[in-house]
Amino acid sequence: MSSDDEYYDSDDQMSLEDSDEDYGFDTTGDEAAQRKCKYEVLTRADILRRQKEAIEQVTSILGISDDDAARVLRKYKWDANRVNEEWFSDMDAVRAAVGMVDEAPEPSGSSDKCMICFEEHPRSAMRSAACKHGFCTDCWSGYLANAVSCGPTVLDLRCPLPDCKAEVPVALVHEVLQLEPKTAELVPRYDNYALRSFVEDNRAMVWCVGVNCENAVECCVDRAPDEPLDVVCSGCDTTFCFNCKEEAHRPVSCDTVRKWITKNSAESENLNWILANTKPCPKCHRPIEKNQGCMHMTCSQCRHEFCWLCNGTWSEHGERTGGFYACNRYEAAKKTGEYDGEQRRRENAKHSLERYMHYFERWDAHNKARDKARKDAAQFEAESLEQLSDMTKTPTSQLKFIKDAWRQVIECRRILKWTYAYGYYSWPDEEDAAMGQRRQFFEFLQGDAERILDQLHEWAEMKLRTLRDEFAEAGLIPGERFQDFRKHLIGLTDVTHGSFDKLVAQLERGFEDMHKRYAGQPAEDEAGSSAAAAAAAAANGAGSSRAAAARGGGRGGKRARTRAAAAAAAGGAAGADGVDDDEVDPVTGNLVREQGFWKCNHCTVNNLDLAADTCEVCGLPRPE
């Protein structure tokens, strides 16, 4: 399965059940089944059914009780194949490991002594496991209640006799705990431990991380231990990574996410700020921030007065040393190199802090934009969907394309957010020429995707609102106007999806063999090997300002960031999944003419010659 298919898997659970044929998508049943097979969301009833089936499978093959089968399965992480291998390899070792012992003969006599309280009790008041070590029900009740309170380890509980390894049957646990109301409330907790063990001890399952959600997710494909898999819980719509349980973050690795979250929550950046913007008091060594222009500093803690530049006592300063705004001593010492080490340390700390803040601010901006998009999408569905249906005389099922657009915006904001964490850790050495070229190409792809997303976001939010407001008084939107809006939004949604597919695929492949990959295309070697560099250079040109895109604004603001979306629509429509060319082509053609360039699907360069049939960089044919 390709990387593009895997990216699309992350949001397949979010799709609605309405037919797609009315608005241009044509998802086949085979393709949908292929996407869904990556993982499955299980309800509590599904988990109980799966657990029962697993126990029955082992019971039928090994000929043991349900209790024993459950214990053996827990021992081997609910892997039935491994249970069979271990059992038939060394049955005695498996039995000993889980506490399976042969049934001992029943003791004779009408009464027996409890081996905990050492009192005589009638046989009817005594209980025992298969070992037949008898204990009174009161002692059993205390023993079991304490074990349940200690947590899931109660599932592997053994006979109270210290040297006995016999397992305590589930039926005995239920019977004894239900004898008194005070302990009867522990039975559901015990049963819940047994249910949760099926998920928590199973390598192929995890619990949904949504608040108060009792669903689980089962991974249905083989994958590397550290390979991220984005899943969506169909019960609570929570998206998370199957591997690390953090927010869904493909194409960024789980290790990168862990480091980024730790960095954002740690004190390391506070220390960097202190290092870059303060100096220690020469007397008490408390950090002091210079918040005024004068070099005369007074420590607020010890009241020591000193010079900010040279750290010398202020009583030794005056007009002869340069006054309040300069320091001749510092300048002289600087020429001899006395302050080089300190200055270098402060500059490095400041640069490190500025670099981190550059990426963090943009990560945080997209995170907030995603949260707002989610609220706006929910508000549209709750407050405006029915109104729009009335104004367009269209069933709400045929307005699904608007909800699809919002879902695409939300998902793409998430992807863009994590690309900044990717960029922060991928290219730490800005002096390396090869690394700098890869970083430029990455930022070009990132900025291009952001421009396309901004246009989709604008159409889903502002253009729709303008259309509603324009005809609010009449109460009816003309069919032709609404169809034009519909075609634009469908086309932009699909083009945005395709563009982010490519971005995700590129980030997952990496940039190390970028030149080799381009050189392998059916263009001249020189042109192919320089495609990435040309794309990166294009980021600094008029067609696509990489710097403006990376800053989320600057030189043109939001409008400038969205101008390239038309070219993306032209390039993406031909390869878009499930969009009727007859329906989208007139729209994208108008967009291309309006923006003044078309985009190459292969190397993503914006071509200014609208009459050209081939890309000026990679030489491949222009998309139809």
11 closest CA partner among 261, 275, 248: 248
How many secondary structure helices (H) and strands (E) does the chain include? Answer: 26, 15
* DSSP code for 622: P
Amino acid at 106: E
What stretch of H or E contains 272?
A: helix 268-277
Rounded to a whole number of angstroms, the distance between the first and last alpha carbons of the chain is 27
Helix 479-509 with 581-595: angle, nearest 10 deg: 80
Residue of 332, 314, 333, 335 whose CA lies nearest to 323: 314
d(CA 422, CA 530): 24
Provide CB contacts within 8 A for 552, sequence distance 6+. 362, 365, 450, 561
CB 3 within 8 A of CB 504: yes
Strand duo 120-122 + 111-113: pairing? antiparallel
How is residue 510 written in tokens?
Answer: 């990496």
The residue from 159, 294, 302, 615 that is catalytic is 294
Q: Using a CB cutoff of 8 Å and minimum separation of 24, what contacts does 194-201 make? A: 194/70, 194/155, 194/170, 195/44, 195/47, 195/48, 195/51, 196/152, 197/74, 197/152, 197/155, 198/47, 198/50, 198/51, 198/54, 198/78, 199/47, 200/152, 201/74, 201/77, 201/78
321 exposure class (CB count in 10 Å sphere: 0-12, 13-18, 19+) = buried
Q: Which of 530, 366, 553 is nearest to 440 (CA)?
A: 530
**Local structure of residue 623 (DSSP, 8 states):** P
Q: How far apart are CA 555 and CA 431, in angstroms?
A: 26
Clarify whether 294 is annotated catalytic. yes
Pick the closest to residue 512 from 449, 442, 424 (CA basis).
442
- Distance CA(493)–CA(487), nearest Å, equals 10
Buried b / exposed e across 417-433, counting CB within 10 Å, b at 16+?
A: bbbbbbbbebbeeeeee
Catalytic (active-site) positions: 294
